[in-house]
Amino acid sequence: MKPNISSFNNAAQVERLIDKYFAYIKGKYHIEQKPVKNSKDNAETIEQKVWDREPEPATLSGLALALGFSSRQEFYTYVQHGPFSQAVKQGVLRVEACYEAHLHQNATGAMFALKNMGWNEKHDPSPNTEAGKPLKVKIFNSGPPPAGSEKEVKL
């Protein structure tokens, strides 16, 4: 049964649901003993992780569904004005942290997601420059003037 957002009683309850979502997306596995290849009589075994449910990436939509929201708009409205929005904002930040960590694996998808979360590629001016101050450029002529066409070029 999905939780109903109108039934949130306190921030701790919201935090538990968020923790439960992040635990769920880690997937579920069990350990099996497998025989080692090329061993005599299959006497040697090794432990092998076998996935019952594969891990999933963290997503804002997945977090919204886990908290019981019916739409992204409802979720984003709650993030801005809900009584326990601080707890939900921390969940959103955890999702963003997952995307940020994936920048090291596949930059394209993670960069797209981060841009949609408000990040940008603009470089801040260095502290030694004065923004808005006009830059004066003085051009010095050195050597002969450039040729106007190929016919004016002498070799």
Q: pLDDT per residue over 116-155, tens digit each?
A: 878 887 766 555 556 667 878 777 777 777 788 888 877 7
CA atoms in the 13 A half-sphere facing the CB of 19: 6
pLDDT of residue 1: 38
Query: Is residue 76 scored above 80 in pLDDT?
Result: yes
Nearest to 92 by CA among 107, 76, 77, 111: 76
The β-bridge relationship of strands 28-35 and 45-53 is antiparallel
What is the rounded average pLDDT of the residues 102-127?
74
